[in-house]
Amino acid sequence: MTRVSIREGESFERALKRFKKRVEQAGVLKEVRKREFHVKKSVEEKLKKRAAEARSRKRQKRMAQRGFN
């Protein structure tokens, strides 16, 4: 769990900003969004496969632009 204690003389807004930064670094919001809905294993595998194919196409496109193809 992410905690931030307010320092002496520190404004609430500044402490809130530090808290938000730590939450982002810890990946808490990303994990919450990931767990928001149940995704069947087969659907999850399809999504991962599509993402891998998209990364591959992107990589090939970049390599072709640089003249490595």
Does residue 28 sit in the same domain as residue 45? Answer: no
The stretch 31-60 carries a mean pLDDT of: 95
Model pLDDT, residue 69: 62
**Could you list the residue range(s) of the whole structural domain that residue 44 is in?**
38-69
The whole-chain average pLDDT of the chain stands at 93
Does residue 29 sit in the same domain as residue 43? Answer: no
Q: How many domains does the chain have?
A: 2
pTM of the model: 0.55
Does residue 44 sit in the same domain as residue 27? Answer: no
d(CA 49, CA 43): 10
Does residue 42 sit in the same domain as residue 66? Answer: yes
Does residue 42 sit in the same domain as residue 69? Answer: yes
Does residue 27 sit in the same domain as residue 45? Answer: no
Of residues 29 and 1, more confidence is placed in 29
Is the distance from CB of 29 to CB of 23 less than 8 angstroms? yes
Model pLDDT, residue 49: 98
Q: Does residue 37 register a pLDDT over 70?
A: yes
Share of the chain above pLDDT 70, in %: 99
d(CA 21, CA 46): 32
